[in-house]
Amino acid sequence: MHRISDAYVADYAELDPIMASYLGIPGNERELTDFSPAGYEARAELSARALGRIEAATPADETETVARAVFLERHRLLQEEHAAGLDLAALNVTFSPVQHLREVFDLMPADAPDHWAAVAARLAQVPVALTGLRASLLTAAGRGAAPAVRQVRQVAEQCARWAGLRGEPSYFATVIAPAAAQEVPAPLRTALEAGARAAAEGYADFAGFLRDRLAPEAPERDAVGADTYRLKSRSCTGARLDPHETYAWGWAEFLRIEEELRQVAGRISGGATTAEAAALLDDDPRYQVHGRDGLRAWMQALSDRALDRLRGTEFDIPDALTTLDCRIAPSGGGVGAYYNGPSQDFARPGTMWWSVPRDRAVFATWRETTTVYHEGVPGHHLQIGTAVHRADRLNSYQRLLCWVPGHGEGWALYAERLMRELGHLDDDGDLLGMLGAQLFRAARVVVDVGMHLQLRIPAGCGFHEGARWTPALGLEFLLTRTLADPHQARDEIDRYLGWPGQAPAYKIGERLWLAARDEARARHGHAFDLKAFHRRALELGSMGLDTLRAQLAAT
């Protein structure tokens, strides 16, 4: 089982060099992924062959039994998605090939001539990769499955910015800029400059294709409907959920957190509303850092402190995970934080990226303390890094390639709540930020499910009761009923509509993690050991939520 899974990852890295770079798998640094219909078909065929071999194999031990369950769930679903043509239509403002082609250059080393030669080779191939993507999107459009026009237009604008068409240098020019300070041979500098121009021109052309060719064929309707939503939700959670029950639970959770927020706001300033308390905190110098360098230094210091405090207490953290690099992301994408895992040998450490508005100079730390715990320790860095570290228990598919948002983001949201339980969010300002983030994630459940299924807003919630959800109402809800930054709120609506089921996976996943912990505590009684629960859970690696619950119930 492990051998089949390891072979699959090696073969997949050949077919998806961008993902290989994300995962730190060497050997394909000069190549880019084929996003043409043939490329998608080749990857689906590889999955089908491996799936057949896994189905026919007999597990040798308990670790292989777990590995088999993980692979079967993920790849049976992948085959359903491919059969439905969802891969060919992949285009959204957050997580799709257009972003992957740009972001891979953030991960490439650039300290030696060999590194720069790989960068130059990849830059030169960007136009070819975009041509393949163009063919896939046109194929999807020909089948009546083009992405919604909202996503097409917004991604076109992203491409224009990265191409340097909005008054700033192209993103690709910034990629090669550090080479000027290094001893890079003249022919290689020439190749880098030519590659950067080609990549920028490729993105400029692709922006025009999206606006002029694809947008006229793209549907105005954003909602994907119940059938596609269920499939997308399974992809993001690994669970078969009733969207109507999930919607009702999301509302109950939202209203519960909203009431607690009001109580904390009242403690911050007697009689203050949540919005008034937030404004007071935003203006409080104790919660301010200035400039991007100030934000990066603050997040690095908080991350390091959390790692030091948790090591040896609630978590067993190996030496390999004691480095977490915090950086500010290049501008042009959506606003928010994200994490890239370490390479297999940990030569490239885990990295927390923060994408911030280009015009912002002052940052309110009370809003973001809990985000550092989410992306770093005990969140994604501990979760993903532990899986990478446990090569003795997990095959390379489990450690590197398997990623289920409901499992991963659910853990990270559980990690935020855990830090409160452990006393790391006793400051009311930071607690308001944590509860605001929790409220925002509950709002995601309500708005995402509501918009895609066009559900009615229930009575008693105090917001357009009885109306059916629309993108305009979704934005109004985030702006008026949460503490979301207006920049982020607008990005979020586009994100939900382009990536159905992903945003609710955070809160849905947290719900399961908390339930699994409660069930383990009930089974073990006074013998329950929180550190042992965390160790067992993290060492299982990523998996669908239904699979996770079954595995944890067996311990």
Please write the tens of the pLDDT for every residue from 444-462: 999 999 999 999 999 999 9
pLDDT at 487: 80
Dig out the tokens for 521 from the structure: 């505590």
Residue 34's pLDDT is 98
Mean per-residue pLDDT of the chain: 93
Q: Which of 479, 505, 531 corresponds to the end of one domain?
A: 505
Task: Specify which residues 362 forms β-bridges with.
Answer: 290
Segment 428-435 shows an average pLDDT of 95
Which residues make Cβ contacts (< 8 Å) with residue 332, sequence separation at least 6? 102, 158, 161, 162, 171
Measuring CA to CA, which residue among 370, 383, 372 is closest to residue 420?
A: 370
Does residue 526 belong to any structural domain of this protein?
Answer: no
Residues 243 and 218 in one domain: no
How many CB atoms are located within 10 Å of the residue 306 CB? 23
- The answer to the question of residue 523 being in a domain is no
pLDDT of residue 462: 95
Under 8 Å between Cβ of 524 and 255: no
For the entire predicted model, the pTM comes to 0.87
Q: What integer pLDDT is reported at residue 54 of this predicted model?
A: 97
Residues 65 and 177 in one domain: yes
Other beta carbons less than 10 A from residue 530's beta carbon? 16
If asked whether residues 390 and 477 sit together in one domain, one would say: yes
The pLDDT tens digits for 162-173 are 999 998 999 999
Confidence of residue 332 (pLDDT cuts 50, 70, 90): low
Q: 331 pLDDT exceeds 90?
A: no
pLDDT in tens, 384-425: 999 888 888 999 999 989 999 999 999 999 999 999 999 999
Q: Which two tokens stand for residue 413?
A: 């949201």
Amino acid in position 392: D
Looking at the 3D structure of the chain, how many domains does it have? 2
Q: Which domain holds residue 480?
A: 235-505
Q: What is the pLDDT of residue 491?
A: 87
Q: What would the pLDDT profile of 111-158 be if each residue is shown by its tens digit?
A: 889 999 999 999 999 999 999 999 999 999 999 999 999 999 999 999
The share of the chain scoring above pLDDT 70, in percent, equals: 99
Residues 311 and 397 in one domain: yes
What single letter denotes the amino acid at residue 430? D
pLDDT higher than threshold 70 for residue 288: yes
pLDDT at residue 488, rounded to an integer: 81
Encode burial over 44-82: b for 16+ CB neighbours within 10 A, e otherwise. Answer: bebbeebbebbeebeeeeebbebbbbbbebbbebbeebb
Given 505, 533, 550, the domain boundary residue is: 505
Tell me if 196 is assigned to some domain: yes
Same domain for 325 and 189: no
- The answer on 255 and 185 residing in a single domain is no
Which pLDDT band holds residue 107 (cuts at 50, 70, 90)? Answer: confident
The strand pair at 350-355 and 324-328 is best described as parallel
Taking only the tens place, the pLDDT of each residue in 38-78 is 999 999 999 999 999 999 999 999 999 999 999 999 999 99
Q: Residue 249 pLDDT > 80, yes or no?
A: yes
In this model, does residue 490 exceed pLDDT 90?
Answer: no
Identify whether residues 52 and 7 lie together within a single domain.
yes
**Residue 529 belongs to some domain of the structure:** no
The answer to whether residues 248 and 302 belong to one domain is yes
Signed CA dihedral, 465, 471, 474, 476: sign only: negative
Q: Which two tokens stand for residue 537?
A: 């859970």
Question: Which of 187, 222, 257 is where one domain is finished?
Answer: 222
